[in-house]
Amino acid sequence: MTRPEHGPARAKERKLIHEVFKKITAVALAAAVTLPLSACGGGSGGPPSGSVTSTSSADISIDGTEFAFAPADVSMKVGQTVNVTFDNKGVVDHEWAVLKEGTQIKDEADFAESMVLFEVEAIPAGTSATQTITFEKAGRYQIICALPGHFAAGMNGILTVS
């Protein structure tokens, strides 16, 4: 859960973020228990529009390499419980961080940890991690890898919630 470069503020923030995700995960687990998961395999699949409810769920997978996300752009539905799997297929650490709505950085120097809304935090090469998220607000959210130099090198994308 920690990286050597973490300052106390960053660690504290991570803790808060994790508290939030624990709650989200608990909700997701409850949904999984009460609803037999319908076939909603990876990709951008999901229920047909018009039938979106807070109990719908989906899985998406993103690969990270030097230096790109594949896919770079992903979409989710408002209220949908989404299991995000980030697979580090590169040779160095990578992460998949979604910035708050309305935050759009053009340069790494503009980045602050407080801008992060959701992330699969840095994982080592050759590993993957899954986190569950539900977005309650439609919008366009910037995705970045905040490790030094990675954003500028091409690790960015857009998450569209509709």
Interface ranges with Cu ion (CB under 5 A): 94, 145, 147, 150, 155
* Closer to Cu ion by Cβ: residue 18 or 89: 89
* Closer to Cu ion by Cβ: residue 14 or 94: 94
Q: Residue 97's beta-bridge partner residues?
A: 119, 144
Least distance between Cu ion and beta carbon 146 (Å): 8
Nearest-angstrom CA–CA distance, 160 and 162: 6
Least distance between Cu ion and beta carbon 145 (Å): 3
Least distance between Cu ion and beta carbon 32 (Å): 30
* Closer to Cu ion by Cβ: residue 59 or 119: 119
Nearest-angstrom CA–CA distance, 43 and 31: 20
Q: By beta-carbon distance, which residue lies closest to Cu ion?
A: 145
Nearest-angstrom CA–CA distance, 74 and 133: 13
Nearest-angstrom CA–CA distance, 131 and 41: 16
Per-residue tokens: 83: 């299991």
Least distance between Cu ion and beta carbon 64 (Å): 6
DSSP per position, 43-87: TT--SPTT---TT-EEEEEEEEETTEEESS-EEE-TT-EEEEEEE
* Closer to Cu ion by Cβ: residue 28 or 146: 146
* Closer to Cu ion by Cβ: residue 46 or 90: 90
Least distance between Cu ion and beta carbon 100 (Å): 20
Q: Residue 143's beta-bridge partner residues?
A: 98, 157
